Amino acid sequence: MSATGILATGAYVPKQIVTGADVAGPAGVTPEWIERKTQIVTRRYAAPDEATSDLAAHAAEQALDRAGLPATALRYLIVSTSTPDSPQPPTSYLVQDLIGATGAACFDINVVCSGFVYGLALARALVAQEPGAHALVVAADVYSRILDVTDRKTVVLLGDGAGAALVGPVATGGFLDFELTSHGSARGLIRVDAGGSRMPATHDTVDNGDHLFRMNGRGVRDFVMDNVPGAVRTLVERTGHRLADVGHFVPHQANGVLLSELVTRSGLDHAQTHRTLEAYGNTGSASTALALEAADSGGHLTDGDLVLLAGFGGGMSLGAALLRWTGTR
């Protein structure tokens, strides 16, 4: 396989800023409680006329503009989301039409909060075997549409956003390896029960709130601590590196308190951990992509840096990527 890496990043968050005070009352908590438990100060909600494809298209266009690549030059367009515009057609086809990527083969993936990393792994495999090809990975979610405003375990955490990464050939460095694992036995920790073939949407399911997002927060925390540190260590060591070599850690922005513990448990206190959750909250599949774009556009990543990405969430799933940054400016 030829060397492939990230050539450009992009991001988009909706304009509406939602504060702790906005969500605290219906959830039966205070803004102070939210910040203490999550370290999230604000999050963004999509406008009534915005859907997942709209957010994804904005992020996609920014990545393409930064790379100086026309959308028509894309060979693949991968959209990661667990909140599609509709069950059919795939959201990626809507994004294709919005950005004019007429030559791209498009598909969606749903690995919930690990989806961005899974998408990068797929893009790398496709591009590495097709010299000169480019793949755009876009992760986007609009969780505000499926939140129970009275559920303090979820409404205080989640927001909307999109992030993108253009994957293509690089002279040196780029992706070194991936670690992808799935744990279906823990699928009940994060779920949306209704709206599929097992429990189609009915008046009763809507009245019962079965189409809303549910999460076992304590169970998720235990899953993360039991699985993520070992997975990232395995990945780093398999590439012939040590954890001490990692310069940047870009994790899924699940919860600020959890992230602080995860960094220590993973032996990454020395690395620069990139966080956007204070401003954007947990944006699902988009969160790792948004954090990577913030690190990139903020000038924190330089050519040759060893960067570790980690996504984890519903499924339960885990995806980690190690890459040698090649510079996107």
Q: What is the mean pLDDT of the chain?
A: 96
Question: Model confidence over 190-241: pLDDT tens digits?
Answer: 999 999 999 999 999 999 999 999 999 999 999 999 999 999 999 999 999 9
Residue 289: what pLDDT?
98
- Binned at pLDDT 50, 70 and 90, residue 131 comes out as confident
| C-alpha of 8 from chain center | 16
Question: Would you state the pLDDT for residue 115?
Answer: 97
Confidence of residue 1 (pLDDT cuts 50, 70, 90): low
- Give the pLDDT score at 2: 76
Exactly one of 113, 211, 255, 274 is catalytic; name it.
113
Angle at the Cα of 208 from the Cα atoms of 204 and 214, rounded to 5 degrees: 135
Residue type, 195: G
- Evaluate if residue 329 carries a pLDDT over 70: no
Predicted TM-score (pTM) of the model is 0.96
User: What's the rounded Cα separation, in Å, for the pair 292 and 163?
Assistant: 8
Is 113 considered catalytic here? yes
Domains in the chain: boundaries: 4-171, 176-324
Whole-number Å distance between alpha carbons of 45 and 91 = 19
Per-residue confidence (pLDDT) for residue 118, from 0 to 100: 98
Of 106, 248, 274, 282, the catalytic one is 282
The enclosing H or E element of 162 equals strand 160-169
Tell me how far the alpha carbon of residue 186 is from its chain's centroid.
Answer: 20
How far apart CA 72 and CA 202 sit, in angstroms, is 41
What are the C-alpha distances in Å from 291 to residues 59, 174, 176, 256, 276? 13, 18, 20, 13, 6
For range 176-180, the mean pLDDT: 98
User: Tens of pLDDT along 276-327?
Assistant: 999 999 999 999 999 999 999 999 999 999 999 999 999 999 999 999 998 6
Q: Each residue of 137-161: pLDDT tens digit?
A: 999 999 999 999 999 999 999 999 9
Please identify which of the residues 211, 252, 255, 274 carries the catalytic annotation.
Answer: 252
Domain 176-324 sits in CATH at 3.40.47.10
Q: Can you tell me whether residue 128 is helix, strand or coil?
A: helix
SS3 state at 10: strand
Asked if 252 is an active-site residue, the reply is yes
Sign of CA dihedral 282, 301, 178, 162: positive
pLDDT digits (tens, 9 = 90+) for 66-114: 999 999 999 999 999 999 999 999 999 999 999 999 999 999 999 999 9
CATH class for the domain made up of 4-171? alpha beta
Judge if 4-171 and 176-324 fold alike in CATH terms: yes
